[in-house]
Amino acid sequence: MYIKSIKLLLIIIFISFSNILFAQDDLLSLVDNGPKPKEYISNAFKSSRVVNGHSMEFIGKGVLDVRILHRFGLINTGFSNLWGLDQASMRFGFDYGVTKNFTVGIGRSTAGKEWDGFLKYRLVQQSVGGKNPSPVSVVLITGATISSAPWEFPDRKNYFSSRMGFYNEVIVGRKFNDKFSAQLAPTHVHVNLVKDANYTNEFFALGIGARYKFSKRSAFVVDYHYLVNSSEIDENLGSSQFENLKNPLSIGFDVETGGHVFQMHFSNSSGMNEKAFITNTTKSWGKAEVSFGFNLSRVFTVAKN
């Protein structure tokens, strides 16, 4: 009798357990067939900069990105100047992720002895699944520059505001697949002080950035800014400091090594902030007026997520 009771109990347990397993399978099938949760797309670029210009990518919340940018002299100066390596300019900067969608940054360039700062906010992040997925990311950026170089206009009063410039930018970008990402970045730059009334204060450019990933830790990148009002500038400015402006183009490679992102590139621009490379690029790729450079990024987590 005792053994029969045990057998009956085991049969009941087995039947109950089988029902639970079948119920779980039914639930899993419902989940698999139901709507997928929203998934945000990241790692469109390896760095928060394509080369010179901002990328659609962000650093993490509580992360400090220490950036050192080097740009050497022109490679067409030949062996006597070691193809430009005898000369160098640099920018060092600190970018901090306040939140995953909001970054602030400050930097200083030796070219023009310029300080710059920016605010970068992600309005929309590319996503799939869930309700209202977005096919693109949308990023808003505003920044300012100020020159600490010796005053070069002896006939004018040296106002603090005269040394300043400003820029505003919208980035619309998409990671198409694991290998290819691209973005468009309409940009407006305002320079407070110009030489005389015939000079323009306003510059409009369309930035184009792209990345093609050819290995797990390496990618090919292109960073180009087309000056929309360049014909107007050439007409009106004559022999000004902005004469013969060229569209800045940078081509290079990103290499990720642990916490570092190392960018090697060639560029016709010596400036390394938006005001500098959009309003001051006068070198031509067609004349081999190109400089080799590299950007080094090292991130540190300084606050817990």
**Is residue 9 one of the residues assigned to a domain?**
no
For residue 93, give the nearest of 295, 291, 279, 240 by alpha carbon: 295
**Is residue 108 one of the residues assigned to a domain?**
yes
DSSP structural state of residue 151? P
For 162-202, write each residue's pLDDT tens digit.
889 999 999 999 999 999 999 999 999 998 877 666 677 88
**What is the model's pLDDT at position 11?**
46
Rounded-to-integer distance, Cα 78 and Cα 137, Å: 43
For residue 185, give the nearest of 104, 262, 248, 134 by alpha carbon: 248
**Is residue 290 one of the residues assigned to a domain?**
yes
How many structural domains compose the chain? Answer: 1
**Is residue 12 one of the residues assigned to a domain?**
no
Mean pLDDT of 275-285: 89
**Is residue 278 one of the residues assigned to a domain?**
yes
Mean pLDDT of 281-305: 86
CATH number at residue 163: 2.40.160.40
**Is residue 13 one of the residues assigned to a domain?**
no
Going by pLDDT thresholds of 50, 70 and 90, the confidence category of residue 7 is: very low
**Is residue 6 one of the residues assigned to a domain?**
no
How many CA atoms lie within 13 Å of 165's alpha carbon, on the beta-carbon side? 26
pLDDT of residue 305 exceeding 70, the answer is: no
**Is residue 17 one of the residues assigned to a domain?**
no
Tokens 């990024």 belong to 297
Which runs of consecutive H residues, i.e. helices, occur in 74-229?
none
pLDDT of residue 124 exceeding 60, the answer is: yes
For residue 274, give the nearest of 128, 170, 178, 172 by alpha carbon: 170
The residue segments making up the domain with residue 215 are 35-301
Tell me if the pTM is above 0.85: no
Going by pLDDT thresholds of 50, 70 and 90, the confidence category of residue 288 is: confident
pLDDT of residue 225 exceeding 80, the answer is: yes
